[in-house]
A and B are shown apart, each in its own frame.
Chain A
Amino acid sequence: MNEGTLNLLVGLAMGLNLLALGSSRLPALIRTVAAQGVVLGVMPLLIEHETLDWRVAAVAMATIAGKGVVIPWLLRRAMRAANIEREIEPFVGYVPSLLLGAGGTIAAVGLARALPLLPEHSGSLLVPGAMASVLTGFLLLIGRVKAISQVCGYLILENGIYLFGLLLIHSTPLLVESGILLDVTVGVFVIGIIVDRIQRAFDSLDTRKLTTLRE
């Protein structure tokens, strides 16, 4: 049930991964990550079979609010506070990272077929989507120079882990889900403060300059 819609949403999330790899402006990147968070938030509602479990609905609401509204707002605030230019300076260029991401997505789809999955998960795109998102997150973490775009990479990586967790949504306690979400929000909050500090100490958010850190 709802298998087609769910796969469509996972496909959309994979498309957003590539969009994140190709976007050259920080606000666009943050918007993409927010959109992916909302897409991911809708998914638990589709996985639910018979009656709408209130816990699943709570996870969905919290995810949409956290990843779609609060975290992007924190990131935008950090960006404004640090007063940085909007251009993302890539370490790995846009076209190579896009091609790498696409290759990774295709490889994830191929790899998921080879994995010994449960029969009810074999037709789903959740596992390849999770692996593709983790890979995209890694690519963004490695290939971007600005601290905020690296945070976006970290968020996409976490989205991939969340996608993997959706396979087990009925056996994961609500406490674990909300704990993860809270951790991510606090992490972004802390990073927002760190970004401000980096900006003050180094006059730039270029993380390559952090290697010159001395006592």
Chain B
Amino acid sequence: MMNPILEMPLRLAVWLLLAPLLPGIVNKVKAWVAGRRGPPVLQLYFDLAKLWRKGVVVSTLASPGFLLGPAVAWVAVVGAALLMPLGPSLAGAGFRGDFLVLIYLLALARFCTAWAAMETGSAFEGMGAAREVSYAVLAEAAIIAAVLSLSVQTGNLSLSTMLAPAAGAGAALLAAGLFVVLLAENCRVPFDDPNTHLELTMIHEVMVLDHSGPPLAAILHGASVKLLLFSVLLVQAVLPIGQFAPWAGAGVLAAGVLGVTIGVGLVESLLARLAFRRVPLLLTTAFLLCLFALLAAWKGGPS
């Protein structure tokens, strides 16, 4: 444990500064599989810097919620990220039931994004928002089951102690379920194609069509923080991070997140987007995987 005054800014810096690296790595993997050179890994940093300097175009129809939505969503995602421990050395304070706060902060972020999307009154954005929240219903059930299984496994209610040991009997189930949830929550390929610009098939991209300048930068950065958040959750849920020495734990965590990111890139290169009517099936499967992990923890864990 390090000095709490020093720890908080360091955690914040890790989340804010390292998050935009992940989409860059995903894109690099995709380019590598396709045999292209691809954009530089730091592309999102350049994009964010460019967007930050630009002006904002606001529709005359939109209420202040159009600008407020992305801001609140960004704050909520970063707040959720701050609850998540970063290995044994940067475990954070944590309190009983902080995983519920994390889930609800993510839900708040989603609500704000959907709200801001509908502000301009564009039919396409309303459609994207409807898709986003209808997928989220199933993904949220899966993540609640996953976190509950960790809680039952360790007999604890705070994220930092819950994520320290290994997931036990249901580790493989939990890993598969959480990976599918990661893909769904971050609008990655089997659910949504982040590269597409055909409104009929987009989900997340269609919601941010009308945003520009700094609010768009906040949305993009928030999305990358969310991707990092889910990768960190997945790695810590499966690996016994708490058993490593402090800095070795950080190294293992970083390697795990890198592995998950490369996995996302490979999935994105090798799979096509699912048809919409197949998506509930995959999300239900993820929910069932997490549910069976919960049962395995319940039956085999120290209850």
Whether the pair B288, A102 counts as a contact (CB closer than 8 A) is yes
B285: chain A residues at CB < 8 Å are: 18, 22, 98
- The total of interchain contacts (Cβ-Cβ below 8 angstroms) comes to 23
Q: Is B281 an interface residue (CB 8 A)?
A: yes
Give chain B nearest CB distance to A146 CB in angstroms: 18
Q: Is A185 an interface residue (CB 8 A)?
A: no
A98: chain B residues at CB < 8 Å are: 281, 284-285, 288
Q: Is A109 an interface residue (CB 8 A)?
A: yes
Whether the pair A109, B295 counts as a contact (CB closer than 8 A) is yes
Q: How far is the CA of A94 from the CA of B274 in the complex (A)?
A: 15
B280: chain A residues at CB < 8 Å are: 95
From B278, B284, B295, contact of A106 by CB (8 A): B295
Query: Chain B interface mostly helix, strand, loop or mixed?
Result: helix
Query: Chain A interface mostly helix, strand, loop or mixed?
Result: helix
Over the window 25-36 of chain A, the binary record of Cβ atoms lying under 8 Å from chain B Cβ atoms (1 yes, 0 no) is 000000000000
Q: Is B291 an interface residue (CB 8 A)?
A: yes
Q: In A87-109, which residues have CB < 8 Å from any B CB? A: 94-95, 98-99, 102, 105-106, 109
A106: chain B residues at CB < 8 Å are: 295
How many B residues touch the partner, as a band?
10 to 19
Whether the pair B288, A24 counts as a contact (CB closer than 8 A) is no
Q: Which residue of chain B is the closest to A12 with respect to CB atoms? A: B172
Whether the pair B288, A94 counts as a contact (CB closer than 8 A) is no
Whether the pair B288, A95 counts as a contact (CB closer than 8 A) is no
Q: How far is the CA of A177 from the CA of B295 in the complex (A)?
A: 33
Q: Which residue of chain A is the closest to B291 with respect to CB atoms? A: A102
Q: How far is the CA of A22 from the CA of B274 in the complex (A)?
A: 14
B: which residues have CB within 8 A of A? Answer: 278, 280-281, 284-285, 288, 291-292, 295, 299
A-B contact sample (20 more), CB < 8 A, given A18-B288, A24-B281: A18-B285, A22-B281, A22-B285, A24-B278, A94-B281, A95-B281, A95-B284, A98-B281, A98-B284, A98-B285, A98-B288, A99-B284, A99-B288, A102-B288, A102-B291, A102-B292, A105-B292, A106-B295, A109-B295, A109-B299
A: which residues have CB within 8 A of B? Answer: 18, 22, 24, 94-95, 98-99, 102, 105-106, 109
For the complex of A and B, the 5 pairs showing the least CB-CB separation, nearest first, are A102-B288, A94-B281, A95-B284, A95-B280, A95-B281
